[in-house]
Chain A
Amino acid sequence: MKRRTFLKTALAAGAGLAVSTGPWFLRHGLAESPIKYGVLIPLTGGLAELAADQKVATEIAIEEINASGGILGRSVELVLRDTEFNAAVARRKAIEALERDKINYFTGACSGFEEMTFADLAKKRGILYFNLPQFMLDNKKNFWKYSFGLNLTPFQTAAAGAKWAANHVKGDRWHLLADNYSWPKMWVPAYEHWAKVAHKNFTGVTWAPFPTNDYSTYIPQVRAKNPDVLFTVTWGSGQINLIKQMHEFGMAKQTKVLFGVSDIPWAMAAGAGSFEGMYAGMPWYWKLEDKYAASKEFNKKFFAKTKRMAAAYGQTAYETPKLLAEVTNEVKSMDPAKLRKALEGRKVQYLKSPTVIRPCDHAAVQECYFMKGKSKTDMSNRFDFFTVEQSVGGDDLLESCALKGLG
């Protein structure tokens, strides 16, 4: 053998040895890179407290995914970007995440405007988008064939509350107090529909301009309607104020107050016992750990990291990467078309009762839980705001796809 040939051979053998046994970064650089799981949420600004829970829940899910072999044999890396609760920033950060960071999965949002921004981007690029907050992409105007979400739709949440009230509350006068913007407006058709179905008198809506931090000026109008059931659709600091003011103005005693949807952070901000005598709907609540072992396990991990119980937004943030990992490993591909086919009609169960992703509109057919607020003395710990009264579910909580124009 000539000397040059020997040297070349030795060099090649040495390089191969270095790659297989050398430092991690060399091996990964030359072998497979981790899968990038993108999450875009408002870590600062409005709803940051919910985004904090989404972040931790996602981290827990990714740890579990990596512990069980990752996705397609590759580890998963979280790529977290702060939308700053601003539409322009959300768009810019999403484009950066897609083009510069080259995320493999595009998920996130904590609010409607982020959801619309991301769905629009996904549509223009022909990619999959998985939404975390309330799913508002299930109508003809906003539907995108590769958009999914495990959270409830506004209509579904309203219908769950109306169905529960129809079966459990005497009296036929229903009224709604809501913030005047697009998200609460999506709830009204459900209340109107179920009022007809249950032969109730829906006396209409008292709209409070958005944002409103003081509902005291609207409560007299609500009182004038003399409702047997008062539904409310509010969020964030507005809801915190409303919780306080429902007690202050005696509404909690005068009528059945049902917060269409609420979450732990708002209850905590309003104070211990703040929901006493009132009801709230939630897609998930930490106390479901009494029924579902997976919730108990999740709560344990979440508490270890944060010293608090997760908001319901944490539930979808945990379940989404788990579902995507499961589906990707099953179809052995990250191709949106293949993932879509596997997701549509799929039955999933992680932290709560089973959920089915409806093929025609990608709405998640699932249960909504109704909570009764506890008094301060009945709370066993600082997160124990509610007892789970009942779960309400079923396909009848959603409008038919034909009605939505989605075939």
Chain B
Amino acid sequence: MIEAFVQWFGDVAAIPGLIWLQQSYLGLVNGSVLVLMALGLTIIFGLLGITNFAHGAFYMLGAYVGWSLLRLIGNFWVAMAVVPLVGAMMGLVVERFLLAPTYRKKDADFLGILITFGLGLAAPDLVRWIYGNLGLPYVKPLPDPMFTIGNIPFSQYRFFLIVVAMTLCFCFWWLLQKTNLGMIIRAGTSDSPMVEILGIDVRRVWTLTFSIGVAIASFAGVLVGPILAVQPIMGVEILVQCFIVVIIGGLGSFWGAVVAGFGVGQILTLFPLLPHCSRLGDVVIFALAAMVLLTRPQGLFGQD
């Protein structure tokens, strides 16, 4: 067994540094998408207390709406800019007409889960019915690759994805920390009844927050369109990873979503590089989530 480990260690040590660099770069890309998704999910839960099982579906719908707009307009950048607006509208409709009627009911939390779970199941079938089961081709908005280090190319579009995700994170942080709306959202996350007593129309804030969360998820969907297969089931795997991120980072925590998102992205991307460990990354993140739930259920950055 020691020999096997020594052999394994030798194999790992033999992996060139540039390969590790490229892998980390890819981890940053994957982490960026997870951060965007987790931000939307965590803010929805933090304020509304809704575990949004339809989050992956909104991500998938963003990719499909983006594809449809691309066919209509012919310009990826314009389509990318419009998708979050469409996502926000979807969020508004879902929150107003499906979720809002359940807020004052006895089992509001459970009803919210049921409704979003149902949406998560129905959306892929609706998309299959309209677009078919086959993946949809996206254009390459930027030429490949951007630059090479050694003989290793680093993708231009993925670099763009990282920059956009980080910019959006900053904007989101600024919204939460520096605006009145952000102050209300943070206050509502801590004590929603108090915010209501102070005369703030929380219903409107909830609608807005849910819409923002869905807009971010759908934006993440259109961002990955050029690099991943756009298919009805594309939201399923990322939803699970997203929940892992918010569990580890903390439900309702901005920094939790960011740190855990990038961390999980790196784990999932670096482990396949290790010999015989390609699936171990999935095990590790689930194990981390379990440990956090046992030792610090509010998450690493969540409040007690």
A residues near B (Cβ < 8 Å) are 44-46, 48-49, 180, 207-209, 213-214, 216-218, 220-221, 223-224, 237-238, 240-241, 244-245, 247-250, 254, 265-266, 268-272, 274
Contact = CB atoms under 8 A, between A and B. Distances in A.
A220 B19 contact: yes
A237 B231 contact: yes
Interface in B196-242: 226-229, 231, 233-234, 237
A208 B269 CA distance: 12
Given A238-B229, A248-B157, A249-B153, 18 more contacts: A49-B132, A209-B279, A213-B228, A213-B237, A217-B269, A218-B272, A220-B26, A221-B273, A240-B229, A244-B227, A244-B229, A245-B227, A247-B140, A248-B155, A250-B145, A266-B135, A269-B137, A269-B229
Interface residues of B, number: 41
16 contacts: A49-B133, A49-B134, A208-B278, A209-B279, A213-B229, A217-B269, A220-B273, A221-B273, A237-B135, A240-B229, A240-B231, A244-B227, A249-B145, A250-B153, A265-B134, A271-B139
Contact of A224 (B15, B135, B269, B272): B15
A77 to B, nearest CB: 27
Contact of B152 (A45, A207, A220): A220
A224 B237 contact: no
Contacts of A46: 133
A208 B228 CA distance: 16
Given A217-B273, A250-B145, A271-B138, A237 B26 contact: no
A180 B229 CA distance: 19
A223 B150 CA distance: 12
A314 B89 CA distance: 42
Contact of A220 (B22, B226, B227, B268): B22
Interface centre among A49, A247, A271 (most CB of B within 10 A): A271
B144 interface: yes
Contacts of A209: 278-279
Contacts of B268: 217
B153 to A, nearest CB: 4
Question: Which of A214, A247, A271, A274 is the most central at the interface, judged by chain B CB atoms within 10 Å of its CB?
Answer: A214
B16 interface: yes
